[in-house]
Each structure stands twice: as structure tokens, then as C-alpha cells.
Structure 1
């Protein structure tokens, strides 16, 4: 099964246990070269690296949060230029499929039981400082015994958002289920953000329709219009009013008006009925399965997981090659080479080695190396009567602001800079 950022395989491990292997394969900018995963072009390498980092971090979140209502991870490893996560296989279906195929099964007893299990899972996550950030009906799996399992931690993170804000927003936002703060990376994300999404999930189970977009709700309410998502408590639904009222509170637009913890919400639940274990054949009450066990591939018991992946990758590779052949080869435009910068001196001549040129200029300024362009002054005739020196003939005092004057004087005149007498309008200065 392929998704936006990965492919999920159903396989068996070396102990003949059925399991799920999730491969990091963002189809938008990745392809296969044999069994190896590579980007379409070098320009996509950074994007793939960011997605791969998110993928590996998903395994870290799963390893930290161990609970019966959270899918268990067994192993994470890198192979074929990408990464893989081996986790439990949950036999059953997601809540979207259950609502569409068997809505009558969702009575008050089962709804209360599902909410209790989901709150237990979130309570464990939040106690570890983890936000799931992708709570929705398709990320809850229910088996034949009504056991609920939370999956897909690809968008999980801390309460301060994601360092890679662009990718974090792309992974986290799901219209109808995400609160409005998920659409703005600079806004704080709290535990109540996950609880909003959980309320939206149960809103779907009650009504059969996703709730109104959180951004549209916020815009309407701030403009003085009615909330496009009406309260469940005011509708004609066959559920306990307190149960519906709790969902409405969890879906409050303002984060401060929601439940602030899973435990606070759990205290508002009606007393659950005692659920009896189903004995014997449970096929009549079994939930519809997305991947029936009889269709699972048969694998030898001693064959390792790597061999399973190799076969599955090969079949996926053939399908991708056929699709690429229909599209035709993609021509990548080569980057234009940058023109080298050429430095020149005061006379327009090119400078090869800047350091050596500066050193030569310093030597010329100190009079150690004669310059070809320096003009040698004509020897002045010695007057018979040497007049006494005046203030105008005295060399300028040296200071930090006249250093460049000394340097120019030595290069061009070979002597000390002097003030010259200038006659203007009959006055000598």
C-alpha cells in the first residue's frame, strides 16, 4: 500500500509472525535504480534527507511510547538508500471504513469504549511530551474484539512545533481534523491540539461527515458569523448528551476553552458498560479488514526480513519503471557555471595572486622594490644661496590618517609629501 511519503508492505518475519514493513519512499521526488532508492535529481537530495529524518524519528517516538493502544515497533534499519520500520500488524480496519460499512455497530457502548481507549493512548503520549499531530479516523485501527490501536507517527513532535516548519506543516495538516494552530508554524501547539483532532474524529463517527475546516471556523467566528460547525449537543443524535457535550468542548476554536489533558476529558465520560469477551468464532462480529489474512503472502519461516523487502521492492520497481516509461525520460537542466571574478590593479592590469600583489605594494611603499611605473624626479639644481626652510617646506607630520598620502607619494614621487606654494589672486599660500 503506497502513501504520500512511504510504502507499506505486509510480510512475515523469521519466526513466521505477520508484520508490517514501512518503507520511506516519497514518490514526489524519488525513484528506483534497481532496488536502490534515489532522488529524481541532485536538487531533491535535501528534501529527501528531511523526509528521511522525519521517518527515522517516527520510530523513535514509537519506541518511547509503549502501550496496548499504540502500535509497537520492532526494528528500524537502513537499506537500499532509504530506511524501513518493522512494526506490529493489526488485523482489522480503520474507523473510516467502519463508519462507512457498518455504522449501526457504533452504538453508545462501543463509542464510549473507543473514546476511552483513544484517551488512554494520548495520555501516554502526552506524558512523554509527544504530540501525535495527525489524529484522524484513518489513523485508528479496530480489530474484531473492538481493540483500538493508534498508528502513523510520521508527524509526531514536541509541543514547540517542528524545526523544519515547511515539512512539518505539510506532514501535520489535515483539513477538518487539524486545529487552526497547525496551519501556522509559529503558533504554540499544545496537548489540547491533539484533543481537538480527537474530538473531530468522533464528530465524524457521530455524523458520518468530516467537521468544518478549522480555519473557516475561526474566520467566521471572528467576523461575527455563526460557527459553520454546529454543536453536536444541539442535534438529534442517538448518544448521551454528556458524551456529545464533551466532543463539542474538545473542538472549541480557542485552545483555552478545550480540555487541557486527556485525563480531564476521561472524567466526563459516562460509565462504560461491562464488555464480554467474544468466545469461539468471531467472524460474524469481525470488522471488515483492509488486508485479509488469506491474501497475505506466504513466506518461509526462516527467511529474514531483508529478503522479504528485496522481493517486494523488486515488484514495486517494475511497476514504477512501467509508469516512468509511459512518461518518457525527464531532462534535467544542468546548472550554469559561475564566471570567475578577475581582480585588476589601478592601471587595469589583472591580478593573479592577490596576497603576493599586496605584499609587493607594501615593499614598494617602503622603497625596497622599485616600481616600473614610479616616476623618478629630476635632480634639482642646487641654488647658490639656500633660503632658510619655511613651514611650507617642512614635511607633513605622520598620523594614522596620512598613511595613504605617504604611500602614494613614495610610489609616484619617491619622496616625502610636502605642501606646495600656490599663488592665487596675487596671494601666495
Structure 2
């Protein structure tokens, strides 16, 4: 089948490359000429493990193309996916749908013959209805079906998530559209992947409800971590104890500095706004947003306590800046709240991240960026682990201790064992453990 993918950001590029790997002919479209030129020359504008190889293989096979011109690709497409950004709108927290609606209006003028217009972007309930209204206004003669097909990709594991998903959700009442979507995802039938067909509004809400539940789960275990510290319990054992319950599950029960990234912060906020507008407030999610925002500031206070309340003139080494490992995504990363809070207390901050420093330079002021973890530890009064990159799990701790001014380590991801660190002579602080 022929697919046009509007948008070559994280979702669009991964989805386009994976559909091409399924055997479809995919054209990825973006108005950013620089990005398209980079993709044509073999460059990848985002960091995602394995994506460079996947893109190169499918370009070479003649199944994946990149262009700034939508006309031919849309006219020939069986399905046009809208995969543009939906950031939080300034001032009110609603999802900014201007890019989605602009894409829909452009596509409306170009479609030829029966075509699926599929929202891959994360959009609030009712967005598909608005897209349909755009087509009725711009091209009332167009034979289209507007479909919701939310993505459930984890940064750092997106290719695996696309090719071996827990489920595929499709929102449409049009049987022709269902057949096209079945054909697009036909390779997944080999793995017996559940494909859930719903109405469009239900599909739109599934995406928000899923992200909100996971954000709530993270926030829950973080609050349990605080309680563990207060009563002398171990949050990792608590998480294991409850995670073995099949009704709860073990995933997303790792205590830490709070959630960040491109999805959870904006999607929880957008769901809160949508629910308020609908007169059905989601108070659990509202509390989750509030508690998570406070969580990041609390982690800065944990660092202050590790140095007996005095940061003025002290050097803080930070390991990890991105919101999670295996991505270069800095959006709403805990480091963006923690580091300025430390600087406000008078600390000098030096930091390293394997993939995120280029973006971090634009978002963090007054930070000295280093080339490796040991350069960060050099002369530091305290070393803080914010992101659990694999290379931080096997540090030469004897060397670290030797080059630090003081052997103080604040581990916000619990990647080391407290007893091991104390035997090595570190003043060690972690999350939810004594």
C-alpha cells in the first residue's frame, strides 16, 4: 500500500520507517527543508537506537522517501497519516492543534479517490470530528474516512514497540477504513497482535487515559518512596511486592525524580483541561500533575541535604540530563528543574549526558558541560545521578572517589546498592531507601 506521513518528528519518522519495513511504500513529508535534506543524505534528526539502520535499509530498498512537497504523495496515497506536534498551548495547557488542522487543510486540497486520513498525533477527544469538518468545508466532494490510530511508542524502544506492540488501536466506524488499516498492519497478525477497533472518540481517549494512568503509577511509587524514607522501609522491595500482583504489574514502579518527556507532562495536562471543559474533572490526574511538579524540586532539596544544607560555592556534578536513557529528548526532563534549583542555592554545576548535551546547551544556562562521567566527578563536592544511562551503572567507583573533592553521591535512580556504596566510603543517598 502507499502511505503519506505528514511530519518527520519522532512519531512520524519511526512510524514511516516501520511501515516501509512492513513492505509498504512510504513518503515522509515535512516543511522543514533542512530536515528533509538531512534525511535524504542519510542523517537522522533524532536519536533512537536502530532507526538510522532501519531508514537506510528501506531507502535503499526503494520503499521510503522524503520530500517537502505533499502533492504527489498525498494524491497517490491509500492512507495519509498526520503525525505533527501537539505541544501544550501557552496559557491554558490545552493541546495546540494548529499544526494538525493546518495539515488536514492541506491534505483536503490534494486527496484523490478514497483515502484514509489518519491521526497519529496525540489529540484530544473530538479532534477527528474537527478534521472531518475541515474536509467538509474545503473539499465536500472528497471521499475520505477520518481515522484515529494513536501511537504507543516508548522513546529508546520505539522500533520494537511499533513492530511488536501490546495492541493497535483504531478508531473508525467505516468498514472500508477498517479493511485498509487491517492491510497496513497485516504483518502484525503473524504475531497475533490484538487490534482493537473502536469509535473515533474512544480511540482518542484511550491514548490519553493510558498515559495518564502510567503517570499516576510513577507518581504513586514516588510518594511511597517518601513514605519508605520516613518509616525505614525499602521502596524497591515495596515495588516488587506489589508488582508481583498481576492486577498491578511491575512496570513503571521505579522510584525516581518524577516523569518528564514529550508525552506524560503535556498529555496529563491536556486531559485535565479536556475533562474540565466536559464538566467531568479528573481529580486523580490533577493531583498527579501537581505532585510530579513538586517532586523535581524535592529532589533538589535532597542534594542540598546531602551537603548539610550548604551549596554556596560548592561544585555539583550531574550525570544524565535527558528525561530517560536511550534518547536525546530534553522535554520536561527533571534535570531542567533540578539544576536551576541547585544553581539558585549557589552551586556550580558541571554535567555530562551521552546524547542530550547538544539540546541541553540551549535549555540550561551557566552549566559546564564535560566529555565523560569522570570529568564531571573531578573536583565535585557531590555527584548526582539524574538519568540511568547504562554507562553510569558500571562506573569505576574507586576512581570516582579519588577525584572528587568529597565522596558524596546522590543517586536519584537507585542504580547502586546503599551497602556497597557505604563500604566503599561514600556518603550515599538514594530514593526511598535507607
TM value normalised by structure 2: 0.25
Q: Which has the larger radius of gyration?
A: 1
Bigger relative CO (Cα 8 Å, ≥ 6 apart) = 1
TM value normalised by structure 1: 0.26
